[in-house]
Amino acid sequence: MKFVRYGRNGQEQPGLIDAQGRLRSLGGIVDEIDASVFGRPQALRGIDAESLPLVGGKPRLGVPFVGISKFIAIGLNYRDHANEARMAIPTSPIVFNKWTTCISGPNDAVLRPPGAHKLDWEVELGVVIGRETRFVREADALKHVAGYCLVNDVSERAYQLEQGSQWNLGKGCDTFGPIGPWLVSRDEIADPQNIDLWLDVNGERMQTGNTRDMIFGVAYLIAYLSHYMTLLPGDLIATGTPPGVGMGRKPPRYLQPGDVVTLGSPQLGTQRQEIRPAPQRPL
């Protein structure tokens, strides 16, 4: 199933995308797309989507699920991306955090912070945890997945790499975590290591990749992380980006206000963000 949340920011309603790509309401069936939904996929699969009310118009799509206690990201997880970044190929996963305040809807604007000047893009596969996970074996790890989604790991490279290599500072600014448009349930993705990804800037193709090229696969990452922290239902893992980021171009290319980023996957849907300057407010 393809779960969505639609409506104004803070007032989203639960829904799903039917086989014809139409938005339908799940109101009255579930209160939210959250851990309660992750825990009963069999019951929800019995729903006749065609019997659900159609949602008219083109409402805003929000983050397709709630309950993200941790937004974990993996760096340099594609060999060609590590090479373009001129960094060593990792021998174990590089783990960093994106603060949950960075989370935004798939088509919401990305706000460039005051003073930022190296704003970059990264299309990624997101993995959503479905049940409490601790010390899980790699062979069992995918059983703990609720579903998959698209993530843009927006990054301010000056903050990330020119302030003592503070990766978290350059990754977690407000609006730097667009998620969605859908949460695709685990049963619809036969192999998370065969998902196509792409990203355009102003209509020009920048990134093309497939998750088969990850250095550390999804099951390995879940098992690895579960040895260092308890993963909870709704926790999100952004699994790294293929090559083609702005930092790696010659000369480097960074996002400016007015630029439009579109990204997507045949399996996971598409996102669209316009870059805008963040309003400056006194502290």
pLDDT band at 40 (very low <50, low <70, confident <90, very high): low
Taking the domain 63-277, which CATH number applies? 3.90.850.10
pLDDT band at 282 (very low <50, low <70, confident <90, very high): low
41-45 average pLDDT score: 65
Q: What is the pLDDT of residues 208-258, one digit of tens each?
A: 999 999 999 999 999 999 999 999 999 999 999 999 999 999 999 999 999
275 CB-contact burial (10 Å; exposed 0-12 / middle 13-18 / buried 19+) = buried
**Spacing of C-alpha 8 from chain mean position:** 20
- Assess whether pLDDT exceeds 90 at residue 47: no
pLDDT band at 72 (very low <50, low <70, confident <90, very high): very high
Q: What pLDDT is recorded for position 85?
A: 82
Q: Which of 58, 54, 70 is nearest to 16 (CA)?
A: 54
53-63 average pLDDT score: 97
Instruction: Find the angle CA(202)-CA(75)-CA(77) to the nearest 5 degrees.
Output: 90
Q: What is the pLDDT of residues 80-105, one digit of tens each?
A: 888 888 878 889 999 999 999 999 99
pLDDT band at 273 (very low <50, low <70, confident <90, very high): very high
